[in-house]
Structure 1
């Protein structure tokens, strides 16, 4: 589908694609999740599309070789910027909230670029927003949500009239640590003892812990990981979003950006955690276990990740969304940003007030989180 936008007397073409492969030529990747390989695998292995409630609806600005991977959503699952209250309000007034348009990497609450291609300037951002307004009007979509973006882009969107929401995640920052003990030296004595106790408890209950990267992630290790991953969802009575075929395709095409940490007991993998990384960032994404083992989640998902980041000189480690328990293990609170457009003016005023109140609450929550960090006073 092609849309024509008129701006300052010029006509700009916008194309809409139901497959990223139709528009990905010459596009770069600013993070593992903004990589066309990652997004293609979601489509090719039917993790999106079909009856998943994530219908690819990618926006291309062909004159500038920019693509904004986006999806028409029939529900609000897998986004991690929760708008259930908004949908409930619509329902109470007999108005449909879904479908809506979402711009983010599906199931991936990571702050990163949400476009592929050249850097954006103010004119291109306005074209992006204008194209979204047109898509929402033509497709009868209630709203648009651009989740987990940088502060600068959120500020640009706010200048154009979009609403901003804040959230809080927890990240570990590498402050030039030489090894894990050097990192622990920044903790207070009591918190340092607690961490060492947790690590001993986890490591004493397994036979070995291994790192696997690229070709080391063989089919047996990946099968075992997927069994653990599925088991974690099944314990909560849910179905995993991602398929084994998806992970296999990623291993084949971007395995050198993937770290699998596995714990073995009696020559069997009983727990594993899958990470993605680049030169500057480590991302903890998927975890699972087929055997309840004390403190093993913290060991595989947090402490092994910190050790890996230190060994590689990686500056930032995002272990995944939510969880105040990360604070006691050295992960600091950071603000996340998302931008939102609601088509109906009779709802937008109330939602704008909600966003304002939420931003104030998040600022207060972040300050409370800072008080729980384990660092010595001089390291705060």
Structure 2
């Protein structure tokens, strides 16, 4: 049966069930998460994220799809191409708009070529290549695809770019103390000291699953989230309506960690999880309390992983400091196609040098493991 391909300007054009069958249980690829981004006004054409999702049907069945956006800037991506955009600008060439396949504001690896089978995935990739040729845009960028899709993109003419994140791996720990025993003495001592400082500051912690959190909890969390951006003199990407939509549509994937003192909330973090993986996402506080960030954003989620048998805790973008808390470096990928031949050649040479540097950096990090020798390996 032949494939039929089209472009979706809105997720309302496809049923949630059909979309989620392709998402494979990844909460960030789910119809609920993406729709919340768009319906809340957080990721729209007005904010520089114009949906142009690709869909492939076989008969009446949706068999492949790709989250794809027309981008008018490079904010909220976490794979930085500002230097490329600047080089285009200095040479009088337009870099924006560009095509981008990613989850807005979310540096999490997951399928970008979502498909029922290999044949449908091939049809989707062919459609992407066709679209980027006729769209008249400078480039196409696919951020955080899994390794099996990286190879397909490379075969289709995309250039590969490596990055580094830090993940915590659950080795079947029975409790937090057993995890600590696998760390080097100094790292173990520092973590205990950090947790003790939070306790001595009179802080108590509550773990609230999505269904348990009240609207007041979500409103407070949003205040904390906005305060983090304000402290960095920046504007938040996500609004309160987005959080409330998540709370209604996918509470089983959500965990709020709320820090309180004298019965009043002072800080909050949000992690998103499946049965196998927990993703550290958002944090904020209304006042500075030493080490509270580590407690709410790292140690409480680690305890949750241990208690619930969750295998991997992805700590998010960047953050070498996470290694001292038991996180290990992991290579991530992005794929890039540039229409301009000369710039494509220049970027390819740059990426060859950069990839060598990333490999050297990973080797250096792995030599500085926080674990006692023979501990912490998967």
Which of the numbers 13, 16, 35 marks the counterpart of 2:4? 13
| Structure 2 partner of 1:199 | 195
Q: Is the 8 A contact 1:105 1:114 kept in 2?
A: no
User: In the aligned structure 1, how far is the partner of 2:147 from the partner of 2:211?
Assistant: 37
1:339 deviation in Å? 1.0
Within a 5 Å distance, the mapping from 1:320-339 to structure 2 comes to 320-339=316-335
Structure 1 residues 3-82: aligned runs within 5 Å: 12-24=3-15, 25-27=17-19, 28=21, 29-30=23-24, 31-63=26-58, 65-82=63-80
* Match runs of 1:51-130 below 5 Å: 51-63=46-58, 65-119=63-117, 121=118, 123-130=119-126
SS of the aligned residue for 1:208 comes to strand
TM superposition shift of 1:50: 3.5
Runs of 5+ unmatched residues, structure 1: 1-9
Match for residue 354 of structure 1 among 350, 353, 375: 350
Over the aligned positions, Cα root-mean-square deviation in angstroms equals 1.5
Q: Is 1:135 the equivalent of 2:131?
A: yes
**TM-score scaled by length of structure 1:** 0.94
Q: Does 1:254 align with 2:250?
A: yes
Q: Distance in 2 between matches of 1:154 and 1:217?
A: 38
Closer, same or farther: CA 206–74 of 1 in aligned 2, 3 Å: farther
For 2:312 and 2:281, the matched residues in 1 are separated by: 14
- Mapped to 1, the partners of 2:208 and 2:197 lie a distance apart of 23
CA contact under 8 A between 1:328 and 1:372: conserved in structure 2? Answer: no
Question: In the TM superposition, what is the alpha-carbon distance from 1:269 to its structure 2 partner?
Answer: 1.0
Whether the 8 Å contact between 2:113 and 2:125 is mirrored in structure 1 is: no
User: Is contact 2:64-2:121 (8 Å) kept?
Assistant: no
2:140 aligned residue = 144
Aligned runs of 1:202-213 on 2, under 5 Å?
202-213=198-209
**Cα distance, 1:215 vs structure 2:** 2.1
Name the SS of the counterpart of 1:135 in structure 2: helix
- Equivalent residue for 2:314, pick from 302, 315, 318: 318
Q: CA deviation at 1:342?
A: 0.9
- The one-character-per-residue Cα deviations of 1:167-210 (angstroms, maximum 9, x if unpaired) are 00000000111110000010122221111011111222133100
- TM (norm. structure 2) is 0.94
Contact 2:64 2:124 in 1 (8 A): no
Unmatched tracts of structure 2, length 5 or more: none
> Partners in 2 of 1:133 and 1:159 — Cα distance?
12
Q: How does 1:277-316 map to 2 (within 5 A)?
A: 277-316=273-312
CA contact (8 A) 1:171 1:332 kept: yes
Q: How far has the Cα of 1:128 moved from its partner?
A: 2.6
Report the counterpart of residue 186 of structure 2 in structure 1. 190
Counterpart of 1:320 in 2: which secondary structure? strand
- Deviation of 1:353 after TM superposition, in Å, equals 1.1
Q: How far, CA to CA, are the matches of 1:329 and 1:372 in structure 2?
A: 12
Q: Cα distance, 1:265 vs. partner?
A: 1.4
Measure how far apart 1:117 and its partner are.
4.6
Cα distance in 1 for partners of 2:49, 2:263 equals: 39
Q: Per-residue deviation at 1:130?
A: 2.7
> Structure 1 CA distance, aligned partners of 2:133 and 2:203?
58
**1:38 Cα deviation from its structure 2 partner:** 0.2
**1:116-147 Cα deviation digits (max 9, x unpaired):** 4524x1x4444333322332233311111111
The structure 1 residue matched to 2:238, chosen from 242, 262, 287, is 242
